[in-house]
Amino acid sequence: MLYYAAVFVTVPRHARKKHVDKEALMRYLRRVGWLSGLAMLLAIGCTIAPPPGTPIPPAAELLPGDGRAFAYGYSADEVVRNPEVSDKIRELFGTDWTPASQGGGQLSLGARAYFGGGGLLRMVRIGGEDYIALTGCAPTACNTHRVLLLIREGGSQLLARLDEGGYTHYYGYGNGDMTRNTVPLVVDSGLRALRREGSPYPGIS
């Protein structure tokens, strides 16, 4: 919403006399104009709408006590090994699944290592769609090397965010409505919903 500030200028009593000090009056008006302009900037500075075409993050909420979260297993490791989704998870991360030193992609540890320290499995609703949310971390570096995996109900779409010591990587697999711009919006909205109940990552308070 855009706010407008109305500014009223009052000429001092002495400036209304027949013999007006024009220079003093001009200084006064300039000062009032500068202050009123500053007031308007402060009034609208935090309410300027984003540029047209800027993607809007979808609304997200945690769905507590939902048994659907365990459709593929009760731990991160069980989900990763479940034959219904294991191949999709590997395709999601591609060459990043294995460590770079073993001929993998750009991750020094490889994405597989991030599921060694598994967190809770929960259900989140993002933009009207329900996802299983699985968090994990590299056991030796839970504070800096973390992963959030979202599996859309039915397993048709997988999204992930992987934090690697200050670098963030996003991944998407499945339906064609995902793009480089929309995947981070969906994943980060889900992460914010999880964080409302505290840290979703294992070993992090």
Residue 49 is predicted with a pLDDT of 52
Residues 153 and 75 both lie in one domain = yes
Which ranges of 47-148 would DSSP assign to H, the alpha helix?
76-81, 86-93
Residues 93 and 120 both lie in one domain = yes
Q: What is the pLDDT of residues 55-75, one digit of tens each?
A: 788 999 999 889 999 999 999
Residue 173 lies in a domain: yes
Number of domains in the chain: 2
Residues 79 and 138 both lie in one domain = yes
Interval 113-132 mean pLDDT: 90
Residue 121 is predicted with a pLDDT of 94
- What value does the mean pLDDT of the chain take? 80
pLDDT confidence band for 197 (50 / 70 / 90): confident
* pLDDT-wise least confident of 11-20, 134-143, 146-155: 11-20
Residue 178 is predicted with a pLDDT of 79
CATH number of the domain bearing residue 72: 3.40.1420.10
Residues 78 and 45 both lie in one domain = no
Residues 95 and 186 both lie in one domain = yes
Residues 66 and 155 both lie in one domain = yes
* Sheet strand arrangement including 60-63: 60-63, 117-126, 129-137, 145-152, 158-164, 167-173
Residues 108 and 181 both lie in one domain = yes
Residue 20 lies in a domain: yes
Residues 101 and 9 both lie in one domain = no
Residues 15 and 95 both lie in one domain = no
Q: What is the pLDDT of residues 102-120, one digit of tens each?
A: 888 899 999 999 997 677 8
Per the CB < 8 A criterion, the answer to whether 140 and 131 are in contact is no
Residue 56 is predicted with a pLDDT of 84
> What is the share, in percent, of the chain residues with pLDDT greater than 70?
71
Residue 6 lies in a domain: yes
Domain around 27: 1-49
Residue 202 lies in a domain: no
Per the CB < 8 A criterion, the answer to whether 173 and 88 are in contact is yes
Amino acid at 94: G
Residues 75 and 28 both lie in one domain = no
Residues 106 and 15 both lie in one domain = no
pLDDT at residue 177 greater than cutoff 80: no
Tell me how far apart the alpha carbons of residues 134 and 149 are, in angstroms, rounded to a whole number: 5
Residue 201 lies in a domain: no
